[in-house]
Structure 1
Amino acid sequence: MLTLYHSPLSRSTSIVQLLDELGAADQVGIVEVTIRRQGGKGSPDPRNAHPEKKVPYLTDGEDHVRERAAVVLYLTDRFPKAGMGRPVGDPQRGQYLSWLIWYQGVFEPVAMLTWAGIDNADVKSSLGDYDVALARLDEVLSRQPYLLGDSYSAADLLCSGPFQWFRDNMPMTPAVKAWVERCAERPSNIRTMQRDQASMA
């Protein structure tokens, strides 16, 4: 059976929301664990199977998946009928994969460096900077409502997350802001946030 290691109001919250969107919540066991939080709060949980005690961490029998983009891809491939991913052979498969890996390998690192106030020429020459990343999103979202066109996908769920969590610290263009609001209004997002907040109360 699939098992997700999750800590409320953390990076794994997006995966719990994805399970809701996939209609797969009853097919994946969730083990709620504690993690070390920003500012030093919290502590690693011995129940967490992740070797570094992070979340999300997905196990499937003897196999395992870590890193959010990989978990998202694994689950959308596993539960394709929901239409949240793009299966092998789909004409948008390449775009879908590109957005997932762009998020993990470019956008999140660039955003974190910006929050930390780190300005490094070598990093910029490799990854670009926040303004370049924002322009990439704006270019697409100025002409269509979601990253892959007219329908919401797991790429939107993943890429919109930081804007929802750190809205006040992340400049947005009008098109990106409207997209973030559409994503935030998803019933799956509202339900997941309510459950996580209740769990943390």
Structure 2
Amino acid sequence: MLTLYHAPFSRSTSILALIEEMGIDDRIDVQEVTVARPDGTGGPDPHNPHPEGKVPYLTNGTDHVRERGAIVAYLTDLFPETGLGRPVGHPQRGAFLSWLFYYQGVMEPVLVLDWTKVDHPILRATFRDLDAVLARLSEALDGRPYLLGECFSAVDLLLSSPFQWLPDAMPEDPSVQAWIRRCADRPALKAVVERERLALSA
């Protein structure tokens, strides 16, 4: 059976939201583990098989997947009938994969560098800067509600996720702001966040 190793209110929360969106929560065993938090709390969990003690981490028998973009691709390929991905042969397969890799390889590093106020010409040349990332989102969303067109997909869930937790990074562009609000208003994400809040306060 598929097993997801998850820590509440972490990067893996977006994968829980994806699972909820896809309606496959009955096919995945979610194992809650602890992780080291930026504020110094938490720590490695001996029950977490991730080689670096991080989340999310997905296992499927002897196979294993780490990094959110890879997990998104893996799950949407495994369950193409849910419509959240773009399977091999789909005319938007390339765009779908490009956004997943753009998030992992460019967008998240840029957001972290901006948040920590780390700057250097080589970093900007390699990863771009926040203005460039936000401009790319604005261009992609010009005249359409979601990154791949009229329908919400897993790339919208992944690329909008940091803005739910980093409101200071909220772009000024109205079309990007509206997209972030549409993604945040998804019932699946709201349900997952509410469950995590209730579990935290219990």
1:55-112 CA-to-partner distances (Å, cap 9, x unmatched) read 0000000010000000000000011111000000000000000000000000000010
Once residues 67 and 44 of structure 1 are traced to their aligned partners in structure 2, the CA distance between those partners, rounded to angstroms, is 17
Please say if 1:11 is aligned against 2:23: no
Aligned to 1:90: 90
Secondary structure of the 1:58 match is strand
Aligned 1:64-143 pairs, distance under 5 A: 64-143=64-143
Aligned to 2:46: 46
- Aligned residues: CA RMSD: 0.8
Once residues 47 and 172 of structure 1 are traced to their aligned partners in structure 2, the CA distance between those partners, rounded to angstroms, is 42
Q: How far is the alpha carbon of 1:197 from its aligned partner?
A: 1.1
Aligned residue-pair number: 201
Give percent identity, aligned residues only.
Answer: 55
Once residues 170 and 123 of structure 1 are traced to their aligned partners in structure 2, the CA distance between those partners, rounded to angstroms, is 21
Q: How far is the alpha carbon of 1:142 from its aligned partner?
A: 2.0
TM-score, normalised via structure 2 length: 0.97
The runs of 5 or more residues in structure 1 that have no matched partner are none
Aligned 1:146-185 pairs, distance under 5 A: 146-185=146-185
Q: How far is the alpha carbon of 1:165 from its aligned partner?
A: 1.1
Secondary structure of the 2:143 match is coil
Aligned to 2:37: 37
TM-score, normalised via structure 1 length: 0.98
Once residues 71 and 88 of structure 1 are traced to their aligned partners in structure 2, the CA distance between those partners, rounded to angstroms, is 16
Once residues 19 and 169 of structure 2 are traced to their aligned partners in structure 1, the CA distance between those partners, rounded to angstroms, is 28
Once residues 92 and 81 of structure 2 are traced to their aligned partners in structure 1, the CA distance between those partners, rounded to angstroms, is 16
Once residues 172 and 33 of structure 1 are traced to their aligned partners in structure 2, the CA distance between those partners, rounded to angstroms, is 36
The runs of 5 or more residues in structure 2 that have no matched partner are none
Once residues 184 and 171 of structure 1 are traced to their aligned partners in structure 2, the CA distance between those partners, rounded to angstroms, is 15
